Amino acid sequence: MQNNINPKEYSPLVLAYIGDSVFDILVREMLLARGNMPVNKLHKLAKGYVNAGSQAKMYIFLEDKVTEEELAVMKRGRNAKSYTTAKNQSVTDYRHATGLEALFGYLYLKGDKERIRELFELCMSEFDS
């Protein structure tokens, strides 16, 4: 990522926009690491992680494990006024998921890939248990 980007200058929905992709690629990498399998199976497994309900649970799990700065980003994402909603999830879950994605987007734009991995692995260890 470019060094001249200040993630604090971006709206929470823009952070969530890029964070959604960051989170998605992490899930895909994790699933590929589990072994070669048909693409339709990979897709079904990925949907279990990349959906508003699952991401909302991860948001709640991380709330007391992140820094003040990271929590502020999550809350900005959660409270952002979006004109779209999840098809099969509650508005609350959708907002929490947006907060989680905003955090991943923020860290990505900040260039903190180590922290992204740390938080992702923390989420996966809790989610998969």
Residues noted as catalytic? 20
| 57 in Cβ contact with 50 (< 8 Å) | no
| 16 in Cβ contact with 77 (< 8 Å) | yes
